[in-house]
Structure 1
Amino acid sequence: MNLKDIHRRFDLGRSFYFLWCGESMAVVGTTMMGFALGVWVYSHTGSAVAFTNVILAATLPAIIFLPLAGGLADRISHRVIIVCCDVSLALLLLGIMALLWLDRLEPLHLYIFNCLASIVAAFRKPAYQAAVNTIVAPEKFTRASGLISISKNVSALVAPQLAGIIMAKAGLVMILGLNVVTFCSGTLLVIKAFSHVRFAPEPRHGVGKEPVLRSVLDNIASALKFFSVGHLMAWLLVYTVVRNALLSLATVMMTPLVLSTMSSQMLGMAYTWSALGGLFGAGLLVLIGHPRKLMALVGVADLLLAACVVSLGVVSHPVAYCALAFFAISAACVADACVSSLWMHKIPGGNRASVFALINMLTIAATSLVIFVGGLLVDHWFQPALAPDGRYADSIGLWLGVGAGRGVGLLFVVAGGLFALLPLGVLLYGPMRRLAETQPQPQTIQASDSPSVNAL
């Protein structure tokens, strides 16, 4: 492959790369901030409940506002929403910095900050997801999704370590200051990305004379209708929500699984290898480009993910944990990028942000529920049953072992085994397996200077 071919394969347009770089800076800053705020709260309170409240405050408010945010993003320019959200978050950060500087910062302030930041993110994310459609040619959606996945995994690999070093040397105020810089810089890159793109909503009867709120509600209703009309898209929604919930459950429960028998250093190694696996999987998909049978690839990758999750519940050796974490996240990233590409192809132009918002809302709700139920199962059923004198000690315990951490191991086995039924169903059901080969929805967002997306 010569340089010309490489340039053609990776030419997603300058606008996308500006937008991607701006989003990557925001992801790194957000990851560093989340890590630093959690450390600050736990170090000042010593309470695990206070620590988990920080996480819940940063996620749950988004569930309420995501539908409204998606409808608004289908009515208003994506650039305006993203820039306003970045500026709002920078102002919130300056407020926290002022409280910290005056030595008046308390955990309650961080709960409020995380709630407000979650609402801002609820408006920003659907606009960003829909914006990628406006500046990337359809045949390059998969490669764009792979690049977005790379930035997320680089952030997961680098940001916590970097935040830990900065916290130790300069404290929380430096982390917050860097976040202000990253969000402001990202805003400039977003403005540059959209400098040649004009927002042009899909024309509808009478929509120009409708009040904004009425139009937003209509977009939300259209998003719901999109899933009620086509059963294949409804199944893809179920598949997306369930797989994301399982991946989040495995990621969260990896901590008690490893720490029950090993050190925190070993846990850090497992997460490092999982992030490297994410980079490998996303990089592989970027090199492949746009596979013809996207959904079949998703099914195979998720079968590998399910097998790795089950195996993580069985093994107990450090090398096995790292290897399985690597392959699990590699497979997950391949499937994630392919599913994202499918959504970008299938969602109609006038309702992209609304549909993305609905997907994100259901994913957050399902993930919170699955993690909560998983914790209850481990504490009140699986772990007591796999104690040395427990109910399953002489049956399942002969296979999984008994004692500390084996309840979490059983959760991994059960969750991975149940999840494997979904990709098996995809591979066996022809219409779902061939979903990517059906006619995509027409694109309705156009560039201002040229009808060709590639010209951007």
Structure 2
Amino acid sequence: MSGRFDLGRGFYWLWCGESLAVVGTALMEFALGVWVYNHTGSTVAFANAVLAATLPAVLFLPLAGGLADRFSHRAIILCCDLILATLLLGLMALLWTDRLQPLHLYAFNALASVVSAFRKPAYQAAVSLLVKPGKFTKASGLSSLSKNTSALVAPLLAGAIMAHSGLVTILMVDLIAYCAGSLLVVKAFSGLRRVVVDKPEPEPTTGSAQGHVRLALRFLASRRTLLGLLVYTMARGAVVAVATLMMTPLLLSTLGSQALGMAYTWAALGGLAAAGVLIVLGEPRNLLVSATLADAVLAACVMGLGWVAQPWAYYPLVFVAICVAGIADACVNALWMRNLGAASRASVFALISMLTIATTSVLTLLAGFAVDHWLQPAMLPGGAYAAVLGPWLGTGVGRGVGLLLVSLGALLGLLVLALLASRAMRRLGRTVPVSHDRQPEAGQSPLAS
């Protein structure tokens, strides 16, 4: 095939099926978060639902990758879709009988997270079978298009559906999307039977995950500037994640689900704008300074989100915050790539992901507890902070989350100032190592290069 269909029919069927699954998942995640907060009024309960949908996948991804190398990708994807459809039917039954509780959603999110962890590597491996060499970039672009489009449309659509029809409609749409996507997956693999059978067995892997983590820690400890960069990466990742998470209870408690959907739409537009800026401007001369300057703007936006109380002020702040966060993310990732050899990148990036997820999880739990048991009561009329901070931030429902956002923005701003004040860190941002891709010498650890 040629032209715009040069990726092959199989991939386009698979891509259409995955796009349906992505849209359905985005609708469901938004709706379940709204339902939990509306039925509990607790920031802790909302944060727990998000954590339940995040942490289990991290634990099972290594096992899922091994299974995807040994079993049929089509079988794994179809089994995962069948399990997710069964879980959705269980939720719908609980909802119809008026027995649905937040605990059920925690269990659903955790199980769905595990299922998704097994589905993702199988889908990625399937793309490598269905797409010809040299076309992977275009395939990745189409997959990214689906994700960005769903991020842009799904929250607004889910907010409107929740406002008029409730959660059960969202679950029905999601169930239909998964079933239709499964049929498209079957169609995608219909002409691939011989290729799958003839696929060579994967070579056994060597080394242990614990060993790679120890080597990565040893490598980072050998350079103080990289340790500083690690702390910065963990801290900014946790602040951005918690600030994004806390926007949901803030807007739900003050403006409702439709306003939240609009905020997510502006956030998706900000992410697309960041991609456009990076493509047009290219890589900056000093990556660290560029990242910290973008994060300085981000810190101001996060503080502003906790300060303002009107929709017309939230939306542009969300847009700018996500845009500069995307630019800073790209600069930080490029900085790591610039300072790590090819042989050490996988281990170090795995360690960074583990530590960032751990930091984000702890900060999320602390933030939810602080809002429910400390900040929100203190910002109610007559509360401990109402007299001092009330004239600036206001008092009442949602102002505890506002105070948290102001505090997070201030902490990020202080971190930015500390990095900019360090000459060694500024030098790290503009230094280009002579070579990081050389092969390690005999008997030398790859991480020592």
TM over 0.5: yes
**Could you tell me how far apart the structure 2 residues matched to 1:126 and 1:237 are?**
27
Shift of 1:327: 0.4
The reply to whether residue 305 of structure 1 matches residue 279 of structure 2 is: no
Q: Secondary structure at the match of 2:405?
A: helix
**Matching residue within 262, 266, 277 for 1:284:** 277
The reply to whether residue 229 of structure 1 matches residue 219 of structure 2 is: yes
Q: Which moved more, 1:433-442 or 1:75-84?
A: 75-84
Counterpart residue number, 1:176: 175
Shift of 1:378: 2.2
Counterpart residue number, 2:398: 405
Shift of 1:281: 1.5
Change (3 A) 1:86 1:275: same
1:322-348 deviation line (CA, Å, top 9, x unaligned): 111110011112223344455566666
Q: Secondary structure at the match of 2:382?
A: coil
Shift of 1:300: 2.0
**Matching residue within 409, 413, 422 for 1:420:** 413
Counterpart residue number, 1:34: 29
Shift of 1:282: 2.2
Instruction: Return 5+ residue gaps in structure 1 as ranges.
Output: 1-12, 202-206, 445-456
The reply to whether residue 89 of structure 1 matches residue 76 of structure 2 is: no
Structure 1 contact 295–436 (Cα < 8 Å) conserved? no
**Matching residue within 430, 436, 445 for 2:426:** 430
Shift of 1:222: 1.0
**Could you tell me how far apart the structure 1 residues matched to 2:68 and 2:34 are?**
37
**Could you tell me how far apart the structure 1 residues matched to 2:288 and 2:404 are?**
27
Counterpart residue number, 1:365: 358
Counterpart residue number, 1:159: 154
Structure 2 contact 302–409 (Cα < 8 Å) conserved? yes
Structure 2 contact 17–180 (Cα < 8 Å) conserved? no
Counterpart residue number, 1:60: 55
Read off the aligned partner of 2:355 and give its amino acid letter.
Answer: L
Structure 1 contact 346–440 (Cα < 8 Å) conserved? yes
Read off the aligned partner of 1:95 and give its amino acid letter.
Answer: T
Change (3 A) 1:262 1:28: closer
Counterpart residue number, 1:240: 233
Structure 2 contact 159–260 (Cα < 8 Å) conserved? no
Change (3 A) 1:271 1:163: closer
- Within 5 A, what are the aligned runs for 1:61-140? 61-66=56-61, 68-69=62-63, 73=65, 86-96=77-87, 112-122=107-117
Structure 2 contact 53–109 (Cα < 8 Å) conserved? yes
**Could you tell me how far apart the structure 1 residues matched to 2:189 and 2:416 are?**
36
**Could you tell me how far apart the structure 1 residues matched to 2:72 and 2:428 are?**
34
Percent of aligned pairs sharing the same letter? 47
**Could you tell me how far apart the structure 2 residues matched to 1:188 and 1:245 are?**
41
Structure 1 contact 25–186 (Cα < 8 Å) conserved? no
Structure 2 contact 77–123 (Cα < 8 Å) conserved? no
Q: Which moved more, 1:172-181 or 1:123-132?
A: 123-132
Q: Secondary structure at the match of 1:285?
A: helix
**Could you tell me how far apart the structure 1 residues matched to 2:72 and 2:300 are?**
41
**Could you tell me how far apart the structure 1 residues matched to 2:418 and 2:189 are?**
40
Change (3 A) 1:162 1:264: closer
Shift of 1:99: 5.5
Q: Which moved more, 1:277-286 or 1:381-390?
A: 381-390
Shift of 1:290: 4.3
**Matching residue within 319, 326, 329 for 1:326:** 319
Change (3 A) 1:160 1:443: farther
Q: Secondary structure at the match of 2:208?
A: helix
Structure 1 contact 32–160 (Cα < 8 Å) conserved? yes
1:361-397 deviation line (CA, Å, top 9, x unaligned): 4333322321221122223332333344333344333
Q: Secondary structure at the match of 1:395?
A: helix
Structure 1 contact 345–441 (Cα < 8 Å) conserved? no
Change (3 A) 1:87 1:318: same
Structure 1 contact 249–367 (Cα < 8 Å) conserved? yes
Counterpart residue number, 2:444: none
Q: Secondary structure at the match of 1:91?
A: helix
Read off the aligned partner of 2:174 and give its amino acid letter.
Answer: I
Q: Secondary structure at the match of 1:403?
A: coil
**Could you tell me how far apart the structure 2 residues matched to 1:187 and 1:337 are?**
36
Counterpart residue number, 1:3: none
Read off the aligned partner of 1:154 and give its amino acid letter.
Answer: T
**Matching residue within 312, 328, 339 for 1:335:** 328
**Could you tell me how far apart the structure 2 residues matched to 1:65 and 1:89 are?**
14
RMSD: 5.1
Read off the aligned partner of 2:302 and give its amino acid letter.
Answer: V
Q: Which moved more, 1:242-251 or 1:334-343?
A: 334-343
Shift of 1:237: 3.7
Read off the aligned partner of 2:270 and give its amino acid letter.
Answer: G
Shift of 1:353: 5.8
Structure 1 contact 81–123 (Cα < 8 Å) conserved? no
**Could you tell me how far apart the structure 1 residues matched to 2:371 and 2:177 are?**
39
Instruction: Return 5+ residue gaps in structure 2 as ranges.
Output: 1-5, 441-449
- Within 5 A, what are the aligned runs for 1:7-46? 27-35=22-30
Structure 1 contact 346–441 (Cα < 8 Å) conserved? no
**Could you tell me how far apart the structure 1 residues matched to 2:436 and 2:201 are?**
19
Relative contact order (C-alpha < 8 Å, sep 6+): which is higher? 1
Shift of 1:279: 1.9
Shift of 1:51: 7.1
Q: Secondary structure at the match of 1:389?
A: coil
Read off the aligned partner of 2:171 and give its amino acid letter.
Answer: L
TM-score of the superposed pair, with normalisation by structure 1:
0.68
Structure 2 contact 26–150 (Cα < 8 Å) conserved? yes
The reply to whether residue 390 of structure 1 matches residue 383 of structure 2 is: yes
**Could you tell me how far apart the structure 1 residues matched to 2:283 and 2:306 are?**
34
